[in-house]
Chain A
Amino acid sequence: MNALDELMNEARQQEIDPPARGFHLDRREFLKTLGGGLLVSLAPARQFAQESGRRWQEHELPTELSAWIHIGADGQVKVFTGKVEVGQNIRTSLAQLVAEELHTPFESIAMVMGDTDLTPWDMGTFGSRTTPTMGPQLRNMASAAREKLIQTAAARWNADASSLTAADGKVTNPDTKQSLTYGELTRGEELVENVPGDPPLTPAAAWKIAGTPMRKVNGRDFVTGKHQFPSDVVRPEMLFGKVLRPQGYHGSLVSVDTAEAEKVPTAKIVRDGDFIGVVAGDLHSAEQALAAIHANWTVPPQISNVELFATLKKGSSSEVSRPEFASGSVPQAYAAAEVKLNQHYTVQYIAHTPLEPRAAVAEWKDDKLTVWTGTQRPFGVRDELCEAFHLPAKKVRVIHPDMGSGYGGKHTGEAAVEAARLARAAGKPVKVIWTREEEFTWAYFRPAGYIEVRSGARRDGTLMSWEFHNYNSGPAAIQTLYNVPNQLVQFHSADSPLRQGSYRSLAATANHFAREVHMSEIAFALGLDSLQFRLKNLTDPRLRAVFQAAADKFRWGRSRPEDGHGFGIAGGFDKGDYVAACVEVEVTDEKKIKLVRVVEAWECGAIVNPDGLRNQVMGACVQAIGGAMFEAIQFKDGRILNPHLAEYRVPRFSDLPEIEVVLIDRKDLPSSGAGETGLVALAPAISNAVFAASGVRLRSMPMAPAIQIPGDEPPRFQS
């Protein structure tokens, strides 16, 4: 796959549906009704072109050094990237890579990130792309900068550049013992140099700064409360804004009375078609005024969880599905198989629930709009703002202060557009922070999915036939790495009843859940050990290695579970990452599932920052517990029935098993991104462990919800 195809494929999987209530409207109406939100879908290039008036292929990355790196007269290095820091620790790991190639102390590097006026254009921070794409980009620039500094010194000393060395932020002439710091060489001026090709890079085996464990660079700002998140930004004379929401998806405004709201001191009602918002001098007054608006909406009847999977299984009314992969003859091989299995698996919608909800501060000054907001796509949000207010790109600046995370849930700029609209009407800067209920209701969800798997094997454990259909949840990691001569693997898009989009690891979680639970089901039917059956049908050495590493650490096959306990294993591959997990669960007499122990083995090429990586993989295991065990969105008639943390359970300290992370460092392989794939092995490993402990096979995520999800079977277990 060439780079463009890869980007297209990535973009396709990150696509986010337009907000549900906008579907049937034309663009003008769409703009008016969305609480100010206009959503520019990422993705297919042509569509993106129509949406934003700009083709993203035209965003060629600058080749000038000065666009990426600036060295001040004091030797301080500023590095510019459109990527954003959301807790994945790239502010630290990218700085390590630059320090490594530039031959300068790590402490001299400051990353300038996600500011559309200062940093080169970037499509967004998603798909685990920062390490494999921005990493090499910045390494190239740093290497070229180092070469340029050496040449500058050579010219100044009238020396042969090849005889000079660069280390520790200085260029030295070993013969004359002369030495100049980088700051003395640049005198703070721009490094004017085009970097056309691939300058030589330091191989990972020789890394001294990259490849070593580094804590988050600005950690002190977080333990002292000094770090300013998007919701913490304050501007002079700033007002506080709220937006009136419909009583359900696809709601139409019938009547509205704002008389009482207008009496709230300092409050001002902003109305623009169906968009109704409030600004006030303080948040409390804005909330009071919003509550005093009397609006009537009609909301059409809509389906609930009960009809969800039947709806998804119907497939899309507009898109034609085609196989992602096909080989051999599945019908013949399935018919001839000695052992057959035909099962289906489901996953519910879940919410990202970033602890910091959507937030934005907008300020109009001299015809220029500046918005501070939390988003994974600052340039995408800039495009949304340009479109919403008919502005050229140079009149809009989006600044991303490192935010309270997103997990794929903040690709869009709803709060940014709302704050900008209110600020323009108020003539003053306005801050909008979504409530938790708004975040649960008016953002978007991880897609629900229905997955069918039919497989056939020989009695000796050789897989012969594999048929896999995913309805709606997505094509990420849909292909199996196991060797099967006859395959049909297909993703079927569907008409999702809820607005859905990207989520950390996308559909790789659902596809691994179905595939890896199914693999253990066949192993059981064949009377084979789950690990041995997998290895028998697997040649990929990197996946074999993580399975083996997890199994060794866990003592798979060498220790036996206590009574009431069970062991499960699962693994897979996505986005250049290989992962395998072994899990021990206890199923109590009260039918409660307790996670006892998790060993997760991980390999993503050369490790840039082992400390950050360990934190990511461990965090992914913890976050995965939620979707595996209890997270589920309940909905009916265009409303979310559990839009609060009291009703939507997320993992807490008490859910924590013992977790061991085993990292395999392949210095001979390029580094891939590690933000996502750590999630995918946990749920199937838990399901397999529960089966081992209890004989009950769980094929629906979440596996142990606190209450029965309408349409699902009553939960067999609690957690």
Chain B
Amino acid sequence: MAEFLLHVNGEEFHVRGFADESLLFALRDRLNLTGTKYGCGEGQCGACTVLLNGKATHSCLTPLSSAVGAQITTIEGLERHEVLTPVQEAFLEEGAYQCGYCTSGMILSATALLHDIPHPSDEQIVEHMNGNVCRCGTYPRIMAAIRRAAAPAGKGASL
């Protein structure tokens, strides 16, 4: 066990843990940020997606020690003063979920996409989002939500 300094959602946390444990379970079990989900532990489903310095990252494959120094954003860090981000709003407006277990990862992946490409084509959305699985099959509405979040010119997703 050692202590690691993490920057999560704009705050500093001194986390006691193991260098090789996953960032996913450090967030969930040591910081009680359970919005980030375990789905497969092998980087295949995207449920555990967080932003590391703005980049969509599988927290299940990220060792705790390698997250030190990075700005980490989880689903809990998007809402500010009860104001949702455009991506969160768009998911609500489109009803882009069924069970909702994939939603955190979907929203963070979409946030990273719209940060890099404010107005993506459908092909770009599919390419970027293909690592995120929705077992309920809500993909058409998630596509619609991402298009909606991208729609107002100059108002792409903000972090």
Which residues of chain B are within 8 angstroms of A219 by Cβ–Cβ distance? 91-92, 95, 97, 100
Determine if B42 and A644 form an interchain contact, defined as CB atoms under 8 angstroms apart: yes
The residue from A226, A402, A653, A659 contacting B129, defined by CB atoms under 8 A apart? A653
B84 adjacent to chain A (CB < 8 Å):
yes
B45 adjacent to chain A (CB < 8 Å):
yes
Q: Which residues of A in the span 317-366 have a Cβ within 8 Å of any Cβ on B?
A: 353-357
Which residues of chain B are within 8 angstroms of A423 by Cβ–Cβ distance? none
Given A234-B32, A356-B39, A436-B40: A656 and B140 interface contact (C-beta under 8 Å): yes
Given A435-B41, A653-B130: A356 and B139 interface contact (C-beta under 8 Å): no
Q: Which residues of A in the span 624-649 have a Cβ within 8 Å of any Cβ on B?
A: 625, 644-646
Report the interface size class on chain B: 35 or more
Determine if A619 and B137 form an interchain contact, defined as CB atoms under 8 angstroms apart: yes
Which residues of chain A are within 8 angstroms of B34 by Cβ–Cβ distance? 225, 228-229, 231-232, 234
A251 adjacent to chain B (CB < 8 Å):
no
- Pick the most buried of A224, A355, A403: most chain B CB atoms within 10 A of its CB: A355
Determine if A436 and B135 form an interchain contact, defined as CB atoms under 8 angstroms apart: no
Q: Which residues of B in the span 132-146 have a Cβ within 8 Å of any Cβ on A?
A: 132-143
Given A234-B32, A355-B99: A223 and B107 interface contact (C-beta under 8 Å): yes
Q: How far is the CB of A305 from chain B (nearest CB, A)?
A: 22
Which residues of chain A are within 8 angstroms of B126 by Cβ–Cβ distance? 653-654, 656
The residue from A87, A89, A220, A656 contacting B139, defined by CB atoms under 8 A apart? A656
- For A359, the closest partner residue in chain B by CB is B38
Q: Which residues of A in the span 235-267 have a Cβ within 8 Å of any Cβ on B?
A: 240, 265
Question: Given the complex of chains A and B, what is the CA–CA distance between A229 and B103 in angstroms?
Answer: 12
Q: How far is the CB of A280 from chain B (nearest CB, A)?
A: 11
Given A282-B30, A355-B99: A623 and B39 interface contact (C-beta under 8 Å): no
Which residues of chain B are within 8 angstroms of A355 by Cβ–Cβ distance? 37, 39, 45, 47, 99, 101-102, 133-135
Which residues of chain B are within 8 angstroms of A222 by Cβ–Cβ distance? 91, 97, 100, 103
The residue from A223, A405, A620 contacting B101, defined by CB atoms under 8 A apart? A405
Determine if A87 and B99 form an interchain contact, defined as CB atoms under 8 angstroms apart: yes
Which residues of chain B are within 8 angstroms of A353 by Cβ–Cβ distance? 135
**Contact mask A298-322 → B, CB, 8 Å, 1/0?**
0000000000000000000000000
Question: Given the complex of chains A and B, what is the CA–CA distance between A623 and B98 in angstroms?
Answer: 12
Question: Given the complex of chains A and B, what is the CA–CA distance between A435 and B22 in angstroms?
Answer: 14
**Contact mask B71-103 → A, CB, 8 Å, 1/0?**
000111011000010001001100101111111
Determine if A227 and B100 form an interchain contact, defined as CB atoms under 8 angstroms apart: yes
- For A403, the closest partner residue in chain B by CB is B99
A215 adjacent to chain B (CB < 8 Å):
yes
Determine if B88 and A405 form an interchain contact, defined as CB atoms under 8 angstroms apart: no
Which residues of chain B are within 8 angstroms of A623 by Cβ–Cβ distance? 135-137
A-side binding surface: helix, strand, loop or mixed? Answer: loop
Which residues of chain A are within 8 angstroms of B75 by Cβ–Cβ distance? 223-225
Q: How far is the CB of A388 from chain B (nearest CB, A)?
A: 26
Which residues of chain A are within 8 angstroms of B138 by Cβ–Cβ distance? 615, 618-619, 622
Q: How far is the CB of A504 from chain B (nearest CB, A)?
A: 10
Question: Given the complex of chains A and B, what is the CA–CA distance between A82 and B30 in angstroms?
Answer: 33
A126 adjacent to chain B (CB < 8 Å):
no
Question: Given the complex of chains A and B, what is the CA–CA distance between A227 and B103 in angstroms?
Answer: 11
Question: Given the complex of chains A and B, what is the CA–CA distance between A659 and B101 in angstroms?
Answer: 23
Determine if B38 and A223 form an interchain contact, defined as CB atoms under 8 angstroms apart: no
A188 adjacent to chain B (CB < 8 Å):
no
Q: How far is the CB of A229 from chain B (nearest CB, A)?
A: 6
The residue from A87, A226, A645 contacting B136, defined by CB atoms under 8 A apart? A87
Given A228-B34, A234-B34, A436-B39: A618 and B107 interface contact (C-beta under 8 Å): no
A95 adjacent to chain B (CB < 8 Å):
no
A184 adjacent to chain B (CB < 8 Å):
no
Given A220-B92, A284-B18, A645-B45: A226 and B39 interface contact (C-beta under 8 Å): no
A652 adjacent to chain B (CB < 8 Å):
yes
Which residues of chain A are within 8 angstroms of B103 by Cβ–Cβ distance? 222-223
Determine if B42 and A645 form an interchain contact, defined as CB atoms under 8 angstroms apart: yes
Question: Given the complex of chains A and B, what is the CA–CA distance between A625 and B141 in angstroms?
Answer: 17
Q: How far is the CB of A288 from chain B (nearest CB, A)?
A: 9
Q: How far is the CB of B75 from chain A (nearest CB, A)?
A: 3
A715 adjacent to chain B (CB < 8 Å):
no
Determine if A615 and B141 form an interchain contact, defined as CB atoms under 8 angstroms apart: yes
Question: Given the complex of chains A and B, what is the CA–CA distance between A357 and B42 in angstroms?
Answer: 14
Q: How far is the CB of B44 from chain A (nearest CB, A)?
A: 4
**Contact mask A537-566 → B, CB, 8 Å, 1/0?**
000000000000000000000000000000
Q: How far is the CB of A19 from chain B (nearest CB, A)?
A: 23
Question: Given the complex of chains A and B, what is the CA–CA distance between A32 and B30 in angstroms?
Answer: 33
Which residues of chain B are within 8 angstroms of A224 by Cβ–Cβ distance? 35, 75-76, 78-79, 84, 88
Which residues of chain A are within 8 angstroms of B79 by Cβ–Cβ distance? 224
Q: Which residues of A in the span 585-631 have a Cβ within 8 Å of any Cβ on B?
A: 611, 615-616, 618-623, 625
21 A-B pairs within 8 Å (CB atoms) are namely A89-B98, A216-B95, A219-B92, A219-B97, A219-B100, A223-B91, A225-B35, A225-B75, A228-B34, A234-B32, A240-B29, A283-B21, A284-B17, A354-B99, A355-B39, A355-B99, A615-B95, A615-B98, A619-B136, A645-B42, A654-B126
* Besides A87-B98, A225-B36, A265-B1, 12 other A-B contacts (C-beta < 8 A): A223-B75, A223-B88, A355-B102, A404-B101, A405-B99, A615-B95, A645-B39, A651-B137, A653-B126, A653-B139, A654-B126, A656-B143
Across the A-B interface, the 8 shortest Cβ-Cβ residue pairs: A225-B35, A622-B137, A87-B99, A404-B101, A225-B75, A87-B98, A222-B100, A645-B44
